[in-house]
Structure formats: structure tokens, C-alpha cells
């Protein structure tokens, strides 16, 4: 099949196996290839990476072909690709694929800058190809259970903790882009509202870029939210709490346990129950959703505009100056009066 097949043609023939490639053979790209290789109705054409050791690892893990350049993969003919290359390469790779009418899933963040992200979105719209952004946390079964539990509720506040040890692979971004962007997307998705106020507190305790971030937000709908994230905790923790007027929902995204408190009484008593949570692998659910959008032409689960909006908030967190401490703060011991 020619790589320049029309987008409409690829969407119309929903019964034909999709020819899919993966760009980037790091940890995430290798996992993309692993999942895609096992999906029905998919032919994994191969994975691209300029580093021989990455190509060798992907070949050993998945057993697929590995290419050194993007052009080599595209010459084989693909309907869709997933882009798991370093963020600074997303823009050029995405535009090159869109120019060939190839549908794309771009790992978060969608691009290095908001302008680059908007260029990708505009190019995909002009070409009529599917563009989905890989905010995989939306497909975590615990997140889905929380979303269902708060559906129709009057949300008051959201608190998210996402902490863990420093990742050796990370060098070009800090915790806001690597971790907090997940939760910025979840806040927007849970509330179905834009974030209009940002109050960040950042620190670089060990790394060159920020490795501690305490972020506060207000949405257009009036919800207060905060994110606590760092690379200094010796273990991973991923927790979400949502307070509404009628219930309080707690979720552990690692153990996938979601608990709901409800039925609050004047005497302080309340009821509690554990909610059912699915067992799907989030990445598998995400890739299935992407390929379904490619086949049907429906809007993808996470649109390019949504990916750009979350990136824009994350960059605002990095650019917004922290509020200075009050100049009248007492520097000596307090005097006890009375």
C-alpha cells in the first residue's frame, strides 16, 4: 500500500488491517510496538530509531523490523504512526507524516512549544487526518472510575499527587512537563472546564531543571485544584482526590483502588464504598481508541486542541513568577502579648 493513500480512503475501509509504524524506540516507543504487535486488525510495519542499541532492544522485545530513518519506514507504506520520539522532534516528524496523509498519535506533550503544537493541529485539520495526543493517564481504569463517580456532581476541589525518584532517562525537561502535564489534562477533563488561574511554586533541589512543583489552579467553572509533584520521593505515588457537594472520591492510580465517601450526616457520619475498577492496560486502551478513530473518522479521545491546551498551562506554570514573600514579615522571634 502506498504511504500517500488518502485519509478518507483509510477511514472508509474499516475492515482492512491497518499498517502502523512506531517512531522512537525508547521505553515508551518499545511499549507502543509491543502492544500494537498484539492487536487484531493491525500490521506492525516496524519501529524507527537512529540509535542501534534502541533498534536492537525493540527488535528483541517485539520481533518487528527496525529502521534507522523515518523515510525508510514510510517507504514501506503505513496508514498510521505513533510518535514516541523526544519532544523536540515531535513537530517536524508530525508535519512530515501529515504531509503524507498519515494518521498520527503524538505522545505527550504534543510539542515543545504552544506554537508548534498549534501548527501540528492546523496541519492535521487541513489534511483531514486523525491527530490524537497520548495522555495515557485518561485510560487508567482508576481514572475512568473517578470520572464516572463525579459525573454530574458539583465539583469543589481536586488534589493530585504524582511523585517518585529521579528518572535517569530525563535530561531536557523538569517535573512540570514530564509529570504534571498528565494531571493538568486530568483537571481539565474532570471539570470539563478551562484553567484560568495558575499559581506555581517551583524549586530545583537536585536537578538542573525544576524537580519540585506545587501548582495551584482555578478553572473557569470555579473549581480549585492543586498538583504536588517531584522527583525526590524514593517511591512512586499517584493519588487523586475529588471533593464535590455530595461525595468525596479517593483514587490510587497505581493500585487502582477507588473509594467513594457519601451520605454525609449532620453528626459527621457518612457511608463509604469501594468502586469497581477495570483491569485494562492503559496503553493498550489508548492505542485501541486511536485506531478506532482512524478507522471511523470519529473525534479522537484526546484531541490535538486538548493536548495543546494542557501544554499551554504547563508552560504558564514555568513562566509565571512565584509570588514574593511579604516584605513586612518578622525576622526575629515573636513577642508574646498579654
Domain termination site, one of 136, 165, 196: 136
* Number of domains making up the chain: 2
Q: Give the predicted TM-score (pTM) of the model.
A: 0.89
Within-domain flag for 336: no
Classified as helix, coil or strand, 47 is strand
DSSP codes joined into one string, 230-268: ESEEEEEEEEEEEEESSEEEEEETTTTEEEEEE---TTS
Confidence at 338, pLDDT banded by 50, 70, 90: very low
Verify that 72 and 143 share a domain, yes or no.
no
Residues 99 and 142 in one domain: no
Q: What is the mean pLDDT of the chain?
A: 91
Let me know if residue 208 belongs to a domain: yes
Question: Residue 12 falls within a domain, yes or no?
Answer: no
Name the packing angle between helices 27-37 and 282-296 (round to 10°): 60
- Over 60: is that where the pLDDT of 326 sits? no
Co-location of 119 and 162 in the same domain: no
* pLDDT given for residue 280 in this prediction: 94
- Separation of alpha carbons 221 and 219, rounded Å: 5
CB atoms within 10 A of CB 41: 12
pLDDT over 70, % of the chain = 89
Q: End of a domain among 99, 116, 136?
A: 136
- Tell me, yes or no, whether 163 and 268 share the same domain: yes
pLDDT value at residue 335? 41
pLDDT computed for residue 80 by the predictor: 98
The arithmetic mean of pLDDT across residues 213-223, rounded, is 98
Is residue 290 domain-resident? Answer: no
Give the tens place of pLDDT for each residue, 89-132. Answer: 999 999 999 999 999 999 999 999 999 999 999 999 999 999 99
Residues 202 and 220 in one domain: yes
9 within domain boundaries: no
CATH of the domain at 114: 3.40.50.720
Which of 109-113, 304-308, 332-336 is predicted least confidently?
332-336
Same domain as 53, residue 179? no
Q: How confident is the model at residue 47 (pLDDT cuts 50, 70, 90)?
A: very high
Weakest-pLDDT range from 2-6, 159-163, 254-258, 266-270: 2-6
Domain boundaries, position 230: 137-279+303-319
Same domain? For 76 and 155 the reply is no
16, 84, 114, 192, 229 from 21: Cα distances, Å: 16, 11, 26, 32, 33
Same domain, 191 and 266: yes
Amino acid at each position: 500500500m502506498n504511504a500517500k493513500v488518502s485519509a478518507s480512503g483509510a477511514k472508509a475501509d474499516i475492515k482492512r488491517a491497518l499498517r502502523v509504524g512506531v517512531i522512537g524506540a525508547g521505553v515508551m516507543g518499545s511499549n507502543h510496538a509491543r502492544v500494537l504487535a498484539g492487536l487484531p486488525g493491525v500490521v506492525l510495519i516496524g519501529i524507527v530509531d537512529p540509535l542501534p542499541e534502541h533498534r536492537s532492544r525493540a527488535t528483541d522485545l517485539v520481533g518487528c523490523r527496525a529502521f534507522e530513518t523515518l523515510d525508510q519506514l514510510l517507504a514501506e507504506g503505513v496508514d498510521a504512526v505513533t510518535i514516541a520520539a523526544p519532544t523536540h522532534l515531535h513537530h517536524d516528524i508530525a508535519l512530515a507524516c501529515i504531509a503524507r496523509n498519515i494518521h498520527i498519535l503524538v505522545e505527550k506533550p504534543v510539542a515543545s512549544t504552544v506554537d508548534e503544537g498549534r501548527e501540528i493541529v492546523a496541519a492535521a485539520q487541513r489534511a483531514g487526518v486523525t491527530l490524537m495526543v497520548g495522555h495515557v493517564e485518561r485510560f487508567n481504569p482508576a481514572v475512568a472510575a473517578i470520572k464516572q463517580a463525579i459525573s454530574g456532581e458539583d465539583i469543589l476541589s481536586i488534589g493530585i499527587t504524582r511523585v517518585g525518584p529521579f528518572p535517569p532517562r530525563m535530561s531536557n525537561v523538569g517535573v512540570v512537563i514530564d509529570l504534571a502535564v498528565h494531571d493538568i489534562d486530568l483537571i481539565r477533563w474532570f471539570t470539563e472546564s478551562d484553567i484560568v488561574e495558575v499559581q506555581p511554586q517551583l524549586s530545583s533541589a537536585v536537578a538542573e531543571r525544576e524537580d519540585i512543583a506545587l501548582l495551584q489552579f482555578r478553572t473557569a467553572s470555579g473549581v480549585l485544584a492543586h498538583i504536588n509533584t517531584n522527583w525526590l520521593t524514593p517511591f512512586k505515588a499517584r493519588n487523586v482526590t475529588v471533593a464535590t457537594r455530595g461525595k468525596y472520591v479517593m483514587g490510587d492510580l497505581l493500585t487502582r483502588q477507588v473509594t467513594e465517601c457519601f451520605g454525609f450526616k449532620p453528626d459527621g457520619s457518612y457511608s463509604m464504598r469501594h468502586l469497581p475498577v477495570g483491569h485494562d492496560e492503559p496503553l493498550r486502551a489508548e492505542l485501541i481508541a486511536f485506531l478506532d478513530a482512524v478507522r471511523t473518522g470519529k473525534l479522537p479521545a484526546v484531541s490535538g486542541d486538548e493536548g495543546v491546551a494542557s501544554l499551554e498551562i504547563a508552560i504558564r506554570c514555568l513562566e509565571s513568577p512565584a509570588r514574593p514573600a511579604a516584605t513586612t514579615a518578622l525576622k526575629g522571634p515573636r513577642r508574646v502579648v498579654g
